[in-house]
Amino acid sequence: MKLMWLTDIHLDEVDEKRRHEFYSRLRNEDCDAVVVTGDISDARRLPGHLKELAQTFQTRPVYFVLGNHDFYGSSFADVDRAVSAVCEEQTNLRHLGHGEIIPLAGGSALVGHRGWADARAGWGSRTVIPNPDHKKIEDLCGLPEQDVFDKLAELGKESANYFRSILPYALQCYRHVWVATHVPPFTWAAFYKSKPCGRTHQPHYVNVSAGCAIRGISKSFPKSRLSVLCGHTHSAADVNASDRLG
């Protein structure tokens, strides 16, 4: 089975001509299913762009999680409602993070959750690096600074709890589990401008809560393999973390 992986495609930042050129390239790729790990568009254009992706791949399933940019200009609840409506209309779209374990070929499976940078890495709430999320997502706008960081911690714990609820069963049943999420769950997998993230950027580029959950669970299943697909940093990285998870 061939999976195509897309991340941080930011379809809102290109015009219609370039977007459809991109779709033409995707349509001709040899794959059985697609995984998209967030930052697909902005909130206003996300439903339309998800529909375009679904139609591009026709009957092939498109599994996706959302990234922080997908909520720009709206709220978590409103975006989730809009995405749910599109998924009901486009039956090959699957929004991960609702308890599903997707069987793949060869004894493997896919799970996913959006995750979030939880401001626990690096300098944490003491970082001096601003984050545009705090001004562009309604749930974070206007909150006192400490309340923003409390919300980020809550979002990180939400993803960690999700993985704790689903990963043990997936790893018990499948030899290889793929995890789709947006924000890297480990500091050593977080890069900024193609270099390892420094401590000032790490609070906005790492989901420590999810990483702790994944690390703890993986130790209980030494015979199973776990691979994480993530985005967010706009930098390519291929990290073998098995020695760090032991």
pLDDT at res. 246: 37
pLDDT at res. 3: 95
pLDDT at res. 194: 82
Cα torsion 47, 50, 52, 53 to 10°: value is 180
Q: Do residues 159 and 236 share a domain? A: yes
Range of the domain at 162: 99-246
Q: Do residues 88 and 123 share a domain? A: no
Which contiguous run of DSSP H or E holds residue 145? helix 145-173
CA 37 – CA 112 distance, rounded (Å): 9
Q: Do residues 155 and 239 share a domain? A: yes
pLDDT at res. 120: 96
Task: Please say which residue of 95, 116, 145 terminates a domain.
Answer: 95
pLDDT reading at 227 higher than 50: yes
Count of CB atoms within 10 A of residue 155's CB? 23
pLDDT tens-digit series, residues 30-68: 999 999 999 999 999 999 999 999 999 999 999 999 999
CA atoms lying within 13 Å on the CB side of residue 136: 13
pLDDT reading at 71 higher than 90: yes
- CATH code of the domain containing 49: 3.60.21.40
Q: Do residues 87 and 105 share a domain? A: no
Task: Please say which residue of 65, 95, 125 terminates a domain.
Answer: 95
Count each helix (H run) and each strand (E run) in the chain, helices first.
8, 10
Q: Do residues 188 and 239 share a domain? A: yes
Task: Please say which residue of 61, 95, 129 terminates a domain.
Answer: 95
Distances (CA, A) of 60 to 31, 39, 50, 205: 8, 21, 14, 31
| Counted domains in the chain | 2
pLDDT at res. 241: 60
pLDDT at res. 124: 95
* Residue carrying structure tokens 């006192």: 144
What's the 3-state SS for 69-105? HHHCCECHHHHHHHHHHHHHHCCCEEECCCCCCEECC
pLDDT at res. 137: 98
Q: Do residues 68 and 133 share a domain? A: no
pLDDT band at 245 (very low <50, low <70, confident <90, very high): very low
pLDDT reading at 190 higher than 80: yes
pLDDT at res. 193: 82
Give residue 161's identity as a one-letter amino acid code. N
pLDDT tens-digit series, residues 121-174: 999 999 999 999 999 999 999 999 999 999 999 999 999 999 999 999 999 999
Q: Could you tell me if 42 and 19 are in contact, meaning their C-beta atoms sit under 8 angstroms apart?
A: no
> What mean pLDDT value characterizes the chain?
94
pLDDT at res. 18: 97
Which contiguous run of DSSP H or E holds residue 36? strand 33-37
Q: Do residues 86 and 107 share a domain? A: no
